[in-house]
Amino acid sequence: MAEVTGILEAANFAAEKHKAQRRKDAEETPYINHPIGVARILSHEAGIDDVAVLQAALLHDTVEDTNTTFLEIEETFGLEVRRIVEEVTDDKTLPRMRRKQLQIEHAPHCSHKAKLVKLADKLYNLRDLKRSTPKGWSEKRVQEYFQWAFQVVSGLHGTNVAMEKHLDQLFKERGVSASVESDLLDKDVIWQPDSKESGV
Ligand SMILES: Nc1nc2c(ncn2[C@@H]2O[C@H](COP(=O)(O)OP(=O)(O)O)[C@@H](OP(=O)(O)OP(=O)(O)O)[C@H]2O)c(=O)[nH]1
Ligand SMILES: [Mn+2]
């Protein structure tokens, strides 16, 4: 029962932290749908029942996107959960170009538990992109996100068969493969500073 309580505590903590945030889709879906969906992919599709992984999935965007601190995560959920959340948190003070590059570089060196959360995060976001285009995103921007995600996921290979199978299928549908990843060049939208994002 303590495990169930701990998972609900993380769901509630994330809901409170993300309460004012919405996704970028036209419907303005509540942001909390994303971390709950990421945790659900891990439990229902990837067969994961590790409590720290499921808690970290629920909490994975709280530090990146809200006023939450790593210390707060550690004091509430313990050091293991803090460490996983740290591994999957981008430094938002860096320009997007650098953040995206660092995800590609860091992915192979993450812990197994962080790799699981990263795979589920990418799987959720790519499915979300397939379902609905975020406000202000061009078709080119969507395609570039798929190409970038392919590069990150390539560095997570061998972590979880079920999630990797679904991701492979999504990349295949989009025509994204190792041969086109070199097309991702500096000219592309995803690498541009945030100020150039709108209207593309
Ligand atoms: N597909 C999709 N994504 C949305 C939507 N609303 C918010 N997002 C979030 O936007 C992020 C991807 O958008 P980008 O422009 O590439 O990244 P940025 O917000 O970090 O600059 C993801 O962050 P993340 O979860 O931290 O993952 P990551 O992509 O940074 O690894 C994703 O969760 C939506 O409606 N659809
Ligand atoms: Mn996320």
130-148, pLDDT tens digit by residue? 999 999 999 999 999 999 9
Q: Between 112 and 187, where is the model more confident?
A: 112
Among 104, 125, 141, residue to substitute to test ligand 1 (most atoms within 8 Å of Cβ): 125
Q: Which of 64, 72, 168, 188 is catalytic?
A: 64
CA distance 110 to 195: 30
Contact assessment for residue 53 and residue 6, using Cβ atoms and an 8 Å cutoff: no
Q: How far, in Å, CA of 106 to CA of 100, rounded?
A: 10
Decide if the complex's ipTM is over 0.90: yes
- pLDDT reading at 196 higher than 80: no
Determine the distance separating the centroid of ligand 2 and the alpha carbon of 36, expressed in angstroms.
10
**Closest ligand 1 atom to the C-alpha of 124?**
1
How many other C-beta atoms are found inside a 10 Å radius of the C-beta of residue 72? Answer: 16
26-81 pLDDT, tens digit per residue, is 999 999 999 999 999 999 999 999 999 999 999 999 999 999 999 999 999 999 99
Dihedral of CA 58/153/182/140: which sign?
negative
Q: Which residues contact 113 (CB under 8 A, 6 or more apart)?
A: 50, 52, 53, 56, 80, 84
Bridge partners (DSSP) of residue 30 are 22
